[in-house]
Chains A and B, each alone.
Chain A
Amino acid sequence: MRSNSECRGVPCAEVRDRRRCLLASLVLLLSLAAPAQQPSGQPGAPVSTSAPPAPAPPLVLIDPAHGGADPGAMLNVAIPEKDVNLSVARRLRQDLVARGVAVQLVREADGTFPADQRAAMANATRPALYLAIHSSSTGGGLTVFSAMLPPAVQGRGPFLDWSTAQSLAVQRSRTARDVIVSAIQKTGFPVHGLIAALPPLNNITVPALAVEIAPPTGEIAQLASNDYQQMICAALANAVAGAMPSLKANPKP
């Protein structure tokens, strides 16, 4: 006669342990196999069966020039250039974002950034366009500058000379400058396109421009006025957004 603690000659406790072990192995196998059956996107995310995901909007890196220990020009006794530049940059960001352009600012507050650091940031971010903002008492309206460099046909090897890094992109910079100037001219606002030896334009490997804003009638206080800044930023944002199709994605250097 078999005792209650034996199942076909094997102790029942041992049989139960084997069953538990088999069950645990089965659960483990199933849990490992489950993710492999998910679609290649985010687990649990809805799977699109028709259109591919929308491409990321083009990025514009706006650089409010000067800042921190470098005030730029003292436009008058109370208005340093760095403050006007930052204010215009923030407004321009709003206007560009409203037009479907992604924007990043080099500085969000009053901080010191050397020119080389600004160039390094642009080269690491690789935006569709780098746009430095300056303001001045000279001239009237807007002046858009591209680098003062002759275009290079091709790079010399995998490395670019820091002082002429822009030469491979300068032709695209000039094209973008001309498109922007032409678009603003249509609004009747005074605008000119020029070249300038202005740091850090020469050190940037993507299309790079600088904009200098001047009061239309020579009154410096206008530069700090909301109305004038709003008008300038709206015109500039329209023009920059219009120039985006001509600025194709930047290839990796």
Chain B
Amino acid sequence: MIPRHFLIVTGVLFALAIAMAVYVWELRRRETLAPIETRTVQPIAPPASGRTESVTFWVAYDAPAQLRPQSASVPLSSGRQQRAQELMRFLLEIYKDKNSSHRMAPDAQVRDVYLVDAGTAVLDVNASFAGGHTSGVLAEELTIASLVQTLSASIPGLTRVKILVDGKERPSLAGHADLSGFYDVAQVTELAKALAGQ
């Protein structure tokens, strides 16, 4: 004959197992129904403290189509790669502002910046950056010139920049600007000067 206490413990454990399964199922349902915005992984915040530096951001404007240098004091790391990542994230915050004339998607991000050797940088942007970008030769050139020129102005020695989307090579940014090759910094500087003088 099975002892009574053993039956009671078995019953309690069985009831606990059912209760936990219901709870897990409920948690999963809540997660599925949660709005996407609250689940979006935000980029790593730039350091709130640290040495503040004056840097030049080359900011694009759609109307009139121009690239303007703007100085700003921002806290930056001393390491080249971290510094490059922070610069790009600061720049993107400018374009996400509702007053920006060269708006980008709210969830557009620069996922990472890799300095693979002394003269080469690889910018990895997310799919929303490219997918939500205005399509057009001039609009896309403004963005490329803004990213490359801002990076090369504060990271000395850069000679070429490659742009990836979600870690992969893509033919163009939004149907026009070529992303299949490297951007020559000297050529982009020539473009930036022409856009600044328009």
A interface size (C-beta, 8 A) = 31
Report whether B172 and A199 are in contact in the complex, using a CB–CB cutoff of 8 Å. yes
With A66-B175, A74-B135, A136-B139 known to touch, is A163 a contact of B65 (CB < 8 Å)?
A: no
Considering only residues 128-177 of chain B, those with a C-beta below 8 Å from chain A are 134-139, 141-142, 144, 171-172, 174-177
Chain A residues lying within 8 Å of B127, measured Cβ to Cβ, are none
A195 interface residue, CB < 8 Å from B? yes
B105 interface residue, CB < 8 Å from A? no
Within the complex, the shortest CB–CB distance from B191 to chain A, in Å, comes to: 5
- Of A72, A139, A150, A202, the residue contacting B135 (CB under 8 A) is A72
Provide the bound-state CA to CA distance between A145 and B140, in Å.
13
A140 interface residue, CB < 8 Å from B? yes
Report whether B136 and A134 are in contact in the complex, using a CB–CB cutoff of 8 Å. yes
Instruction: Please report the number of residue pairs spanning A and B whose Cβ atoms sit closer than 8 angstroms.
Output: 91
B52 interface residue, CB < 8 Å from A? no
Chain B residues lying within 8 Å of A196, measured Cβ to Cβ, are 137, 141, 176-177, 191
Report whether B181 and A163 are in contact in the complex, using a CB–CB cutoff of 8 Å. yes
Provide the bound-state CA to CA distance between A145 and B62, in Å.
17
Within the complex, the shortest CB–CB distance from A210 to chain B, in Å, comes to: 7
Report whether B181 and A197 are in contact in the complex, using a CB–CB cutoff of 8 Å. yes
Nearest CB in chain B to that of A163: its residue: B181
With A192-B198, A197-B178, A218-B63 known to touch, is A143 a contact of B187 (CB < 8 Å)?
A: no
Report whether A136 and B191 are in contact in the complex, using a CB–CB cutoff of 8 Å. no
Report whether B136 and A197 are in contact in the complex, using a CB–CB cutoff of 8 Å. no
Chain B residues lying within 8 Å of A139, measured Cβ to Cβ, are 62, 64-65, 136, 138
With A195-B190, A197-B183, A218-B63 known to touch, is A73 a contact of B178 (CB < 8 Å)?
A: no
A214 interface residue, CB < 8 Å from B? yes
Chain A residues lying within 8 Å of B186, measured Cβ to Cβ, are 150
Within the complex, the shortest CB–CB distance from A154 to chain B, in Å, comes to: 20
Chain B window 110-137, contacts with chain A (Cβ cutoff 8 Å), 1 for yes, 0 for no: 0000000000000000000000001111
Within the complex, the shortest CB–CB distance from B15 to chain A, in Å, comes to: 58
Provide the bound-state CA to CA distance between A224 and B157, in Å.
46
Provide the bound-state CA to CA distance between A14 and B30, in Å.
116
- Of B136, B172, B191, the residue contacting A212 (CB under 8 A) is B136
Report whether A72 and B178 are in contact in the complex, using a CB–CB cutoff of 8 Å. no
B195 interface residue, CB < 8 Å from A? yes
Considering only residues 12-35 of chain B, those with a C-beta below 8 Å from chain A are none
Chain B residues lying within 8 Å of A148, measured Cβ to Cβ, are 183-184, 187-188, 191
Within the complex, the shortest CB–CB distance from B49 to chain A, in Å, comes to: 39
Report whether B194 and A195 are in contact in the complex, using a CB–CB cutoff of 8 Å. yes
Report whether A195 and B191 are in contact in the complex, using a CB–CB cutoff of 8 Å. yes
A125 interface residue, CB < 8 Å from B? no
Nearest CB in chain B to that of A190: its residue: B64
Nearest CB in chain B to that of A71: its residue: B175
Chain A residues lying within 8 Å of B141, measured Cβ to Cβ, are 194, 196-197
A137 interface residue, CB < 8 Å from B? yes
Report whether A138 and B175 are in contact in the complex, using a CB–CB cutoff of 8 Å. no
Provide the bound-state CA to CA distance between A163 and B184, in Å.
13
A residues bordering B, Cβ < 8 Å?
66, 70, 72-74, 81, 134, 136-140, 143, 145, 148-150, 163, 192-199, 202, 210, 212, 214, 218
5 closest A-B pairs by CB: A136-B136, A73-B135, A138-B139, A139-B65, A197-B178
What are 14 A-to-B residue pairs whose CB atoms are below 8 Å? A72-B135, A73-B134, A81-B135, A134-B176, A138-B142, A140-B64, A148-B183, A148-B184, A150-B187, A192-B65, A197-B177, A197-B178, A212-B138, A218-B63
Given contacts A73-B174, A139-B138, A198-B137, 17 further A-B pairs with CB under 8 A are A72-B135, A136-B137, A136-B138, A136-B139, A137-B134, A138-B62, A150-B184, A163-B181, A192-B194, A193-B194, A196-B137, A197-B177, A198-B178, A199-B171, A199-B178, A199-B180, A212-B138
